[in-house]
């Protein structure tokens, strides 16, 4: 994935809380309060499953990114153009957020932009206190995406993904898929149907994967993205597979329990990302109407 070198980044869509601390003490992010957080590339729910199965946390990774910087307030100085996004992870996230929101503004009438909050360690959200172990997530209560850049290291080292810049972009695009669902009222359809291979939770996550693919299909039509290659798409599909419920469960326990799925299998996640990418049509992402997930 390549950004246009002279394209302007809008850091106003990012709230950078890295290095600021949260005053949350040792609170865990697993137990959210009102407006339950929706997770990320599967990633909140999958990480919670891993934590419960292994009886320990993932260790976060806050502040471990090679591209972390000396404190809050420097993002606008460091991330000004696409050339910066081609070099730095925090600028890449900024560019992807800009591109994703440009696309959804054109695709969804009345789309309301959402901030992405970069943090390390711990953060206070409208859904409750969170720490880095929960991974990236979207909070419907405050309509913000939360991301510790250290998670990208976890994606490779703990989940076994190849990584790559587009894999990082996929995570962000998936979270903004949850924002679109919240705006459209889809998130409210989950209710208490939160586990099982055809649960509403699985359908919600697979739809967010599909929406990420739809954005990818249109990314080069936005102002900041110059190129997405077939290799990039493979990296995105690989990341989607890495956070499939079956792969996570098999790695953690050696067995697969379909009835406890919350995000879908590796094959399902790849299928729905590909459906969005191949068609470029968000109307093809109606996982709630599909019998064959």
Find, among 19, 41, 8, the residue nearest to 263 by Cα.
Answer: 41
CA–CA distances in Å: residue 82 to residues 5, 92, 105, 221:
4, 8, 20, 15
pLDDT at 36: 60
The secondary structure of residue 260, as a DSSP letter, is G
pLDDT in tens, 118-137: 999 899 999 999 988 888 99
Task: Tell me: pLDDT of 176 over 70.
Answer: yes
For the sheet with 38-39, list strands across it: 14-16, 115-118, 144-147, 137-139, 38-39
Find, among 113, 148, 147, 144, the residue nearest to 126 by Cα.
Answer: 144
CA–CA distances in Å: residue 79 to residues 7, 87, 114, 167:
11, 10, 19, 20
pLDDT at 28: 30
CA–CA distances in Å: residue 199 to residues 120, 181, 205:
32, 16, 10
pLDDT in tens, 4-34: 999 999 999 999 999 876 444 333 332 333 3
How many residues does the structure list for the chain? 293
* First-to-last C-alpha distance (Å) of the chain: 29
| Distance between CA atoms of residues 180 and 188, nearest Å | 12
Task: Tell me: pLDDT of 71 over 70.
Answer: no
User: Largest Cα–Cα distance of the chain, in whole Å?
Assistant: 50
The string of DSSP letters for 162-229 reads: ---HHHHHHHHHHHHHHHHHHHHT-GGG-TT--SSTT-HHHHHHHHHHHHHHHHHHHGGGSSSEEE--
| Distance between CA atoms of residues 41 and 93, nearest Å | 15
Beta-sheet pairing, 14-16 with 115-118: parallel
CA–CA distances in Å: residue 275 to residues 179, 214, 278:
19, 8, 5
pLDDT in tens, 215-252: 999 999 999 999 999 999 999 999 999 999 999 999 88
pLDDT in tens, 250-290: 988 999 999 999 999 999 999 999 999 999 999 999 999 98
Partners of residue 117 on adjacent β-strands: 15, 146
The pTM assigned to this predicted structure is 0.85
């Amino acid at each position: 994935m390549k950004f246009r070198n002279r394209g302007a980044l809008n850091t106003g869509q990012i709230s950078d809380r890295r290095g600021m601390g949260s005053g949350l003490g040792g609170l865990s992010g697993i137990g959210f309060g009102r407006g339950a957080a929706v997770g990320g590339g599967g990633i909140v729910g999958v990480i919670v499953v891993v934590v419960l199965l292994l009886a320990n946390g993932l260790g976060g990774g806050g502040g471990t990114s090679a591209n972390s910087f000396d404190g809050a307030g420097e993002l606008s100085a460091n991330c000004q153009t696409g050339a910066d996004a081609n070099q730095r992870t925090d600028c890449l996230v900024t560019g992807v957020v800009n591109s994703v929101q440009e696309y959804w503004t054109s695709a969804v009438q009345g789309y309301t932009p959402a901030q992405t909050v970069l943090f390390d360690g711990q953060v206070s959200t409208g859904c409750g206190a969170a720490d880095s172990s929960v991974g990236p997530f979207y909070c419907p209560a405050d309509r913000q995406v939360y991301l510790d850049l250290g998670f990208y290291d976890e994606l490779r080292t703990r989940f076994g993904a190849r990584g790559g810049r587009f894999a990082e972009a996929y995570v962000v695009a998936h979270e903004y898929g949850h924002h679109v669902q919240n705006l459209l009222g889809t998130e409210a359809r989950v209710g208490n149907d939160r586990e099982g291979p055809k649960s509403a939770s699985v359908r919600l996550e697979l739809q967010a994967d599909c929406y990420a693919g739809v954005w990818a299909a249109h990314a080069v039509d936005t102002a900041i993205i110059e190129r997405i290659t077939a290799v990039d798409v493979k990296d995105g599909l690989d990341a989607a597979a890495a956070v499939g419920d079956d792969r996570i469960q098999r790695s953690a326990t050696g067995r697969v329990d379909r009835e406890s799925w919350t995000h879908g299998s590796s094959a399902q996640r790849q299928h729905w990302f590909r459906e969005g990418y191949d068609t470029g049509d968000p109307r093809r992402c109606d996982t709630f109407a599909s019998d064959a997930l």
